[in-house]
Structure 1
């Protein structure tokens, strides 16, 4: 690792989140001796890369820094001798997310970016790409750290560490950041005065909270956030703020992740998603419109700072967390962060070699998570099933095995079993054919034997 001339690479550099990433580096200019920032994208993202890249250069210049900002479509050129590589790409762009949502919702089944059928298909498209990036890194920058916040972050990070063998990988998510800010706000104390311990898997974790006097405040926060008199607020732009059942959360004795709504109050979340689908306003369609407005702002040659409108995009704090993680590794800061990393016994209820999302200090050799122990039975049963689903999804993504994919669909609690699981799997395979070469044989078979399925998907895609 370089100590005085860092080269940092971002794959998916044309993302609308990139200005927050640049802002995070600028805020930490005294901690990060940056020489080069490389923003990488693909041909389909070239226009956005040029727009956001020009803005990044303006931001660096406005900060009075001499950092070199490079834009390229050549990933290997960018990776050569890199110290840190961050990933924030979306295979198939937002149109793929629209398919992930609309195909299941057309059957009255949840379609969502990281949960249910849509989340599994995002993993199918993304995992082969992250493993390809790692192959390039082995050759071009064998000592670099990989900082992943490409969704589904937990599965992508597990694939990188467990199957790609890239131990110097950490995954990030903005959801815990929002929950920590919420806890501080509800208790009326500065965030730094609280000790918050998270444990679970990405978008499926729980947390407990203590104050600086050593008093646990978890139960009080359950009352303040989820009590019968409180108005539901997920603190997440991405998902509907339906109220949890207070008695259920009280019995758990832990604060849930906002995404637990899809499992604890599935019917209400599904009804809201179906309503959005019928109005042509799925979350992906809304995000696509928001992103279009952001890039119009980014084109302004006078704009040299992150606009407030970026907060509406739904992933605010992601990029700043990535910058802090890099700064903490670079300087052995031991910043307390929530990361996806190897379990190594942190959560007793899950496999030793799987990836979990947990709290802990980030050192020069990576995250050192705090021990959590076991979950109560109500949580343990859920998370063990979800981890089994993740492991099976990862296997299907790598091998292209149709049976493994169907198995993953069958055990995912948000996908109805039996015929519907197979129907959704077949339709999504057809919808995403361009980005699923590992499933080519299965897709060919579906086309040859199920003309009605082909016709259904084609008609549905016309109405995107």
Structure 2
């Protein structure tokens, strides 16, 4: 019987999407216990009400538990799926509004940059606690992480606790490969892809159809549509030679060449602060869902091959799949640091998640990835060691911050954010 724990179950849209998959696997449902955990009692109650409605509506035998206490939820788990956002909407607003006063632009701010650094600093103490609990209460489980920053959060669990069976999952590679297939007009299942790198900065290394390199076809599509050249990811492809996996909006803030220049913001149509709009949309969606449950309308059950559910299904049934996951490098990509978390193809079956060795990235891509990983390395060290100076170091090395602000401005900004976030940050950093 699989005991599947959702940490941050109050992220209702995420929980609904995941459960729409898990509860429609007939070979799993009668032997499944869904365990919900959140620190917000109202959201936890909503998640429980929704889950019970879905189970009853589908007529399946899955069981459900809901716990405010994390340790009780984790005890005996087989799979733990994490989707927490420490500090919630209030913390996200601080991550945008304070840097904006210094003239620093961000679009989404959850992966790299000042926003990504401080999201990591808030998230890592909680994740280290989860890892320690899992090492004690469910040592044979797998922790499947969705929370950003993906290159930092799983690494912090791996390096900061005795629990090592942690993987990160993200939709960006799957979505990018589907986008490229659509652009060249060939079904995705007929295309041979190899995609790897660092989460939100991986690259499509192989893009072929029956032995034909499809990049020349993509070049023709781009040349035929001038508007495509107004996308950061297309510009990066043209300059670096391989198509990146992250959206233009998001990808722009990992680099030094875009957000610090007014003309580039206009040229590439970069939506400053768009993440705050997303947060409001999520709140509106949550309120609509709560209203629907209260009215007895339930929710739409729409299976969508969520990555965590595919990992669980393959592990439980032995159905082999190749998915991309974020795992400790350990030689998988030979010209990136061995202790970094990298995103590579993985075989998933009864043996669990088994990463594929990629070898060396093209040198220009590895060099770009290392600038990204440097910030993450310092941020993880800052969190695990309580090193305030490493927060400054990470921010000073961040491409967008260093292209926009002076060293003194960066230090002042970091100190102001540390004061603003206060007790949410690790011991040592806020002192």
What aligned pairs does 1:410-421 form with structure 2 within 5 A after superposition? 410-416=396-402, 417-421=406-410
Do 2:167 and 2:326's aligned partners in 1 also have CA atoms closer than 8 Å?
yes
Out of 180, 194, 197, the position equivalent to 2:177 is: 180
Instruction: Note the 1:255-270 alignment, pairs <5 A.
Output: 255-257=243-245, 258=247, 259-263=250-254, 266-268=257-259
Structure 1: any 5+ residue segments left out of the alignment? 234-241, 309-315, 445-464
CA contact (8 A) 1:116 1:415 kept: yes
1:136 corresponds, among 133, 136, 141, to: 133
Q: Is 2:237 the partner of 1:249?
A: yes
**Which SS does the other structure have where 2:152 is aligned?**
helix
**1:147 match:** 144
| Kept in 1: contact 2:256–2:400 (CA 8 A) | no
Confirm or deny that 1:85 pairs with 2:80: yes
Distance 1:430 1:227, change over 3 A: farther
Report the Cα distance in structure 2 between the residues aligned to 1:143 and 1:62, rounded to whole angstroms: 32
Retained in 1: the 8 A contact 2:23–2:62? no
Q: Alpha carbons of 1:247 and 1:210: their partners in 2 closer, same or farther (altered >3 Å)?
A: closer
The answer to whether the 8 Å contact 1:32/1:327 transfers is: no
1:99 to 82, 90, 94: 94
Deviation at 1:19, TM superposition (A): 0.5
Aligned to 2:418: 429
What is the distance in 2 between the residues matched to 1:271 and 1:329?
49
* Cα displacement (A) at 1:255: 0.7
- Describe the SS at the equivalent of 1:338: strand
Change in CA separation of 1:282 and 1:337 when aligned onto 2, cut-off 3 Å: same
3-state DSSP class of the match of 1:208? strand
C-alpha change, 1:284 and 1:344, in structure 2 (3 Å) is same
Q: Give the corresponding residue for 1:199.
A: 196
Aligned CA distance change for structure 1 residues 172 and 272 (closer, same or farther; 3 Å): farther
Structure 1 segment 218-297 matched on structure 2, within 5 A: 218-224=215-221, 226-227=222-223, 229-232=225-228, 243-244=231-232, 249-257=237-245, 258=247, 259-263=250-254, 266-268=257-259, 282-297=273-288
The Cα of 1:392 is off from its aligned counterpart by 1.1
Asked if residue 346 in structure 1 is aligned to residue 329 in structure 2, the reply is: no
Cα distance in 2 for partners of 1:41, 1:132 equals 14
1:219, CA displacement in angstroms? 3.9
2:298 to 295, 298, 304: 304
- 1:245-289 CA distance string (max 9 Å, x none): 8565235221112243334574358759999xxxx9833431232
Give the CA deviation at 1:47: 1.1
Contact 1:109 1:270 in 2 (8 A): no
DSSP 3-state at the match of 1:415 = helix
CA contact (8 A) 1:181 1:191 kept: yes
2:43 aligned partner: 48
Question: What's the CA shift for 1:120?
Answer: 0.5
Deviation at 1:350, TM superposition (A): 0.8
Are residues 1:114 and 2:100 paired? no
Residues 270, 78 of structure 1: alpha-carbon distance in 2 compared, 3 angstrom cutoff = farther
Q: Which moved more, 1:111-120 or 1:330-339?
A: 330-339
For the 8 Å contact 1:117–1:424, the answer to whether it is kept is no
User: How big is the shift at 1:187?
Assistant: 2.5
Deviation at 1:161, TM superposition (A): 2.1
Residues 92-145 of structure 1, C-alpha deviations (whole Å, 9 max, x = no match) = 112111111221122111331222011011111111111101111122111111
Q: Aligned pair in 2 of structure 1 residues 144, 306: CA closer, same or farther (>3 Å)?
A: same
SS of structure 1 residue aligned to 2:114:
helix
Number of residue-to-residue matches in the alignment: 415
Structure 2 unpaired stretches of 5+: none
SS at match of 1:108: coil
In structure 2, the residue matched to 1:452 is none
TM-score, reference length from structure 1 = 0.82
Q: What TM-score do you get using the length of structure 2 for normalisation?
A: 0.88
| Contact kept in structure 2, 1:208 and 1:218, CA below 8 Å | no
Output the aligned Cα RMSD. Answer: 2.7
Contact 2:258 2:265 in 1 (8 A): no
